[in-house]
Structure 1
C-alpha cells in the first residue's frame, strides 16, 4: 500500500463508523460523501433505498470519488456491475472489502477475467455474520425437533389434541454441519451447548476439537445415516451446486430436520420437496433459495413443514459496527504489510 492510502466509502455507513476508519492511521484518507449514498431503510441496508437516484452531477462525483481511491469499502452501488466498472476504470485500485460474507457469487457475476481479478484483493465480511446465522440455525433445528409448525397450526385452529405427541430432545441427538468454517463452527458450538453430537464436512479434512467426525463433501452421505438434523452453511459455487440432491436426501434417516443458511443453489429444491413428502425430511427451515426473491409459485411458500425466511437471518442491528470493526482490523494488517483474512477465492468464488 502507498504511504498515503485513500479509502472511499461506496455504500451507506454511519458517520461515527467512518470516523473509526479514519482513526486507524494518520496515513489513511477517507473519502465519504453521504449525500451520494442511498439512505438505509433498516440497519445494515448496504444497498440502500432503491428509490434513491443521483443527479447527473452526483453520479459523476460518486464515480470520481471511487476512481481516486486505493481501497473501497463496499462494492460500488453494492452490485456486481459496479465492481466490474470500477475494476476497469480505477488502475490504482488495490483492495475492495465486500459487505457480504458470501461475496464470491457477486464477484463471479461481475464477469471479470482472472487477469483483472489478480490486480486487486477482494475480502469478505465472513465471520461477522457467524453468530446470528448460527442462532438462526439453532432456531430451525429446535423448531423441527419440537414440532412448532404443528403447534402453530393447532393454535390457529384452536385445537387441543386429546392425544399428546412427544417431541424430540436436542440433547443426545446428532447434528451434521456441511461447511465447518466460521459459521459452521459457531453453529456446532451452540449445538454442543444443547448437548448435541456434531459431525460435518470440510474441504480440507482434518481433526477439529469438539467435532466427532470430519469428512469432505464426498463423504457426506456416510454422516447422514445417523443425523437427526442437518445444517448447510456452504457457499454457492460450481462445486456445491445442488449438493443436496435426491441421492443425498435419500441417505438421510426418516424424520431428519434440514436447515439452510448457506446458499440456495446448494439445494435441489425439487428433491427437497420430495424428501418432505416421503418423510426423509420432517421439517425444513430455509433462509436462502436458488432464485431470490422466492418465486410466488414456489410450493415452498405454503408447505406446512417449511419455514421461509427472506434471506434475513444474518441481519442484526450490530452488523454495520461489526463490519466496520473487521475492516479496520484488516486495514491495519494491510498498512503493516500483511494480507487481510477472508480473501475471495477467484477460482472457486467463495
Structure 2
C-alpha cells in the first residue's frame, strides 16, 4: 500500500516511544538524530507527548484504552509504528488517523522454528520421558517419522508462510486455510475452511490474528471434524481456542495432544487444567523470542523510519478492516 509520508519541515523528528530501553537506545542513534520522548505510564499509553510527530509503541497497555478517542487525538502524529504483529489490543480510533504500520514478520523465523520443534517433539515422543536413567528404564519404543506427515496452517500470513517453508523442507505435506489460493502457493494445498482442513491433517498450527471472526473459532465443531489423533499447536492468541472444547477433545481422544504457547488469560489462574494435563505442553508465550530479537525489531522499525523520512511508502501498513 502506498502512503504519503515524510515531515513538512526540515528538522529531526519527535518520536514518542514506550518500547524497552534497548529499543530506545537503538532509536536514538538513528542518523536523523530524532528527539525521542520516553513515556512509560502503562496505565495510559495513549497519553503521548502532544508535539510528537511519530509514535513507536507496543500492544501492552492498549487494551485499557477508552472506546472513544481522546479529545484532540491524533494530536500532531503523522505516523504510528506498532512493534508487534498483533493489533487486536488497539481500539478502532487508533487506525482512523495517520498511517499505522506493524512489526509483521519480525518473529516469523523464531515462531516457525518453535512449531518445527513442537512437531518433532510430538512425533519423536520427547514429552514421554524417553531419557534413560537406569537399566530398568531401558525400554525400546518405536518413534514416528516427521517426513510424510501432514500439517495444516490456520492463518497464512508471514508466520504461516515461513512455517510452511520449514515444514516442507522436512518432507511434510502442508495445507492452509485461505479462500483464494495465492499465485505463489507452490506445494501448499489450500482449503476453504478450517473444518475441512482438520479432517485431513496430523498437526494443526493456529496462526491467525485475533478478530471477531477468529475468536473461539477453534471449538467443539472443529474438533468433532478433526482427524483422530490431531496435534494442536497454538502460537497466535489464546482467545482463538475454546479451552473447554479442547479438554473435551483430549479426553475423547479426538485430539492426542496440544502444544500451547499462548492462553487466555496469561498466565492462567492457579489450578487451571492445562498446568497438569498430561497431553498439554504449555510454554509461557515465548515462541517469538530469539537471541537476535532486539536487532530484528530495530531493523524493522528503523527501516520504516528511513522510508517515512524519505517520503517513501511504508511497509506493513494496516488498511481498512485492519488488514495488510
Q: State which of 217, 225, 230 in structure 2 corresponds to 1:243.
A: 217
- The verdict on how the C-alpha distance between 1:278 and 1:197 changes in structure 2, with shifts beyond 3 A counting, is same
Counterpart in the other structure of 1:226: 200
Q: 2: CA distance between counterparts of 1:10 and 1:312?
A: 21
Alignment of 1:1-350 (within 5 A): 1-2=6-7, 3=9, 4=11, 5-14=13-22, 16-20=25-29, 22-23=30-31, 26=32, 29-32=34-37, 66-75=49-58, 78-81=61-64, 88=72, 90-102=74-86, 104-108=87-91, 112-113=92-93, 117-151=95-129, 160=137, 162=139, 164-202=140-178, 204-216=180-192, 219-345=193-319, 347-348=321-322
State the secondary structure of the residue aligned to 2:205. strand
Structure 1's unaligned 5+ residue stretches are 39-46, 51-58
Counterpart in the other structure of 2:3: none
Q: 2: CA distance between counterparts of 1:344 and 1:321?
A: 23
Output the TM-score relative to the length of structure 1.
0.79
Shift of 1:119: 1.4
Q: 1: CA distance between counterparts of 2:322 and 2:222?
A: 22
Whether the 8 Å CA contact 1:301–1:308 is kept in 2: the answer is yes
- The verdict on how the C-alpha distance between 1:166 and 1:88 changes in structure 2, with shifts beyond 3 A counting, is farther
Whether the 8 Å CA contact 1:107–1:349 is kept in 2: the answer is no
State the secondary structure of the residue aligned to 1:300. helix
- The verdict on how the C-alpha distance between 1:190 and 1:94 changes in structure 2, with shifts beyond 3 A counting, is same
Whether the 8 Å CA contact 2:28–2:36 is kept in 1: the answer is no
Shift of 1:313: 1.3
Structure 2's unaligned 5+ residue stretches are 1-5
Output the TM-score relative to the length of structure 2.
0.84
1:15-44 deviations in whole A, cap 9, x for unaligned? 651244x21xx4x633245xx659xxxxxx
Q: 1: CA distance between counterparts of 2:62 and 2:170?
A: 39
Whether the 8 Å CA contact 2:59–2:89 is kept in 1: the answer is no
Q: 2: CA distance between counterparts of 1:203 and 1:123?
A: 25
State the secondary structure of the residue aligned to 2:274. coil
1:278-300 deviations in whole A, cap 9, x for unaligned? 22221211011122211222211
Whether the 8 Å CA contact 2:95–2:318 is kept in 1: the answer is no
Task: Judging by fraction of residues, say which structure has more helix.
Answer: 1
Shift of 1:101: 1.5
Q: 2: CA distance between counterparts of 1:159 and 1:280?
A: 33
Q: 2: CA distance between counterparts of 1:87 and 1:328?
A: 30
Q: 2: CA distance between counterparts of 1:238 and 1:158?
A: 54
Q: 2: CA distance between counterparts of 1:244 and 1:131?
A: 24
- The verdict on how the C-alpha distance between 1:309 and 1:74 changes in structure 2, with shifts beyond 3 A counting, is same
Q: 2: CA distance between counterparts of 1:134 and 1:261?
A: 9
Shift of 1:221: 2.3
